[in-house]
Structure 1
Amino acid sequence: MRQTVRKKWRLLSSKREERPIWFMWIKGRQKMDRNLMIMAAGVSSRMRKTAAAENSSELAKEAQVKPKMMLEVGEDSRPFMDYLLFNARDAGYRDVLLIVNDKDDSVRNYYTSHAVSPDFEGLIFSFAVQTVPEGRVKPMGTADAVLSGLEARPDWAGQKFTVCNSDNLYSVHALSLLLEDDHSAALIDYDRDSLGVEPERVNAFAIIWKSDNGYLADIVEKPCQEEVLKATDENGRVGVSMNIFRLDTDTILPLLKGTPLHPERDEKELTETVRMLVREREDSMFTVPLSEPVPDLTSLKDISTVQSFISLNH
């Protein structure tokens, strides 16, 4: 049975705008673990490939040398990840752990120098390095990224944390839903048709199956058409994961250590870790349904869409 909650309306102010934010105080719980891990160690291979193919605009040239989450967007020409951090701040997160690549210092240098900026007031930054093993050109995958983060923050033992990508602009609402969720683990169950992503790309997103009581039953990366049909509910809705989860450190840590390399992609994927969790423990991850767009910065052509979204929402 879910714990009863008492809601309180609170207004947070910032230099950009004032936003109403819901906070929830859970009966019998003295604190909320306001921990957020952002995976920012990827090498942006698809972005750089599309940028190299164009190679004419200044933006294309910038995309070939910068991690994609550090590309400057919006009227203020800020790194894309700034807007994700603004949303995280407004959602109530405080302790932000950035997973960075050992081959690139741009993320660490930028957020170290801007940590005292009024824009990030209330946020505390720390960093964990995901190393690229000898003989590889990119890191070992998202499960390895999360493991690197937890090993760098032993003080998160006994706590929960939210983990997400650095190249998706999750809303304040989505981030708040996970922060406020009182289950041991949870994920956002996005309506596939609401994401605002072209069909050929969204078809590769991880689809999810849910039990009748709303818990995750299975999750599959890059599903075939038969699996998509199986996951479609009676209303024609297909739930997908955008790689944003709320996890318990003590529960997920041993599973991360045991996550195998994917036989084809040669990476340790967080999706597989989550599958291991739900197979080991029934009703262990709650699904939180949500229908809204999630701007995605994968290739050069996504930048114009992201620019338009940010101009309307920030």
Structure 2
Amino acid sequence: MKTLIILAGGASTRMKSSQASANVTAAEVAAANASAKCLIVLEGDKRPVLDYLIKQAAKAGVERVVLLTGFYNAAFKQWYDDAEFNQNALGVQIDFAIQRIPEGRDKPHGTADALQQALEQLPELKEQEFLVSNSDNLYDKTAIKALLETEASNAFIAYDRAGLDFAEEKIARFALCRLGPNNELLEIVEKPQQALMHSYRDQAGTLRVSMNIFKFHGQDIYPYLVSCQEHPQRKERELPTALMNMIHQGGISLQGIPFKQHVPDLTTKEDIAIFKADIIKTKN
């Protein structure tokens, strides 16, 4: 069964602490402050924005979605615990996994920890290929399909930085992906220096970024989720660290699939109005 794990266990801290911009309704602000950002219901809609991602995944060929949520997930269950509705209206089977917070912490321990917990709760995935994505980005069905159809067991969408329709200051914060001659990932470069940008370009002269949508084989990535160390500043066990360990310590390749398209994003309340405009384009 073609499976997509959607990571939705984060605390949505930046969304809740941010200020709203124009064209964001009071109801949308209240929803952003009260629940996970992927559960915001936009003005004129009756269901959460997460539906848009799930429907794109179903159109691409995904058959099963695993929602990896926090322990208190009643809001997710309210929307996605009806198996008949999920199959008929969204086109997929939906299962749940829980990211529990380790003792001594007051928030989740990062995306590598999230994926590790999902695989331990659904151990069949340790022996299978599956996709992983964020919950707050709207990936197009063509990108999801490319990951499903690639022969590589481990891959990611390597987006052309120039195709992302964000403010320049936001794009400048994205980590760059250095690719090898066959588009294999060599390095993830955080906070890249402007003077060195030319050295990060791929064979086509393009700057590539990851928007956190991947394909993995469970037996390849799982050991590196378990051994993933904390980021020294953010104090979280992060998926990019685990996958780079998989590459450098395990000698397992992660194939980059070049794409040039925008990926609508919900990080702060300012993004809600932009996201709504992007959704209108998707509908049309």
After TM superposition, the score normalised by the length of structure 1 is: 0.83
How far the C-alpha of 1:56 sits from its partner, in A, is: 8.4
Q: Report the more deviating stretch, 164-173 or 200-209.
A: 200-209
Match of 2:12 among 27, 30, 44: 44
Q: 5 Å matches for 1:178-193?
A: 178-193=147-162
Identity %: 35
How far the C-alpha of 1:223 sits from its partner, in A, is: 3.3
Q: Structure 1: which amino acid aligns with 2:231?
A: H
Deviations 1:136-181 (A, max 9, x none): 3320001011101111111123210000000000000000000001
Give yes or no for contact 1:259–1:273 (8 Å, CA) kept in 2.
Answer: yes
Q: Report the more deviating stretch, 193-202 or 248-257.
A: 193-202
Give yes or no for contact 2:55–2:90 (8 Å, CA) kept in 1.
Answer: yes
Task: State whether structure 2 residue 89 is matched by structure 1 residue 119.
Answer: yes
How far the C-alpha of 1:283 sits from its partner, in A, is: 6.2
Between Structure 1 and Structure 2, how many residues are aligned? 281
Q: Structure 2: which amino acid aligns with 1:44?
A: S
Structure 2 CA distance for partners of 1:56 and 1:96, relative to 1, 3 Å:
closer
Corresponding position of 2:242:
273
Task: State whether structure 2 residue 250 is matched by structure 1 residue 258.
Answer: no
- Radius of gyration: which is bigger? 1
- Give the Cα separation in 2 of the matches to 1:80 and 1:228: 35
Tell me which of the two structures has the higher relative contact order, counting C-alpha pairs closer than 8 angstroms and 6 or more residues apart.
2
Corresponding position of 2:119:
150
Q: Structure 2: which amino acid aligns with 1:167?
A: D
Structure 2 CA distance for partners of 1:181 and 1:36, relative to 1, 3 Å:
same
Corresponding position of 1:71:
40
Q: 5 Å matches for 1:1-314?
A: 33-51=1-19, 57-73=26-42, 75-113=44-82, 115-117=84-86, 118-121=88-91, 123-226=92-195, 228-233=197-202, 236-282=205-251, 284-314=253-283
- Give the Cα separation in 1 of the matches to 2:164 and 2:178: 18
Task: Give unpaired runs (5+ residues) of structure 1.
Answer: 1-32
Task: Give unpaired runs (5+ residues) of structure 2.
Answer: none
Give yes or no for contact 1:51–1:64 (8 Å, CA) kept in 2.
Answer: no
How far the C-alpha of 1:205 sits from its partner, in A, is: 1.5
Structure 2 CA distance for partners of 1:53 and 1:87, relative to 1, 3 Å:
closer
Corresponding position of 1:7:
none
Q: Structure 2: which amino acid aligns with 1:258?
A: S
Q: Structure 2: which amino acid aligns with 1:168?
A: N
Give yes or no for contact 2:140–2:263 (8 Å, CA) kept in 1.
Answer: yes
- Give the Cα separation in 2 of the matches to 1:253 and 1:304: 38
How far the C-alpha of 1:86 sits from its partner, in A, is: 0.2
- Give the Cα separation in 2 of the matches to 1:77 and 1:305: 19
Secondary structure, counterpart of 2:183 in structure 1:
coil
- Give the Cα separation in 1 of the matches to 2:45 and 2:26: 19
CA RMSD of aligned residues (A): 2.2
Bigger proportion of residues as helix: 2
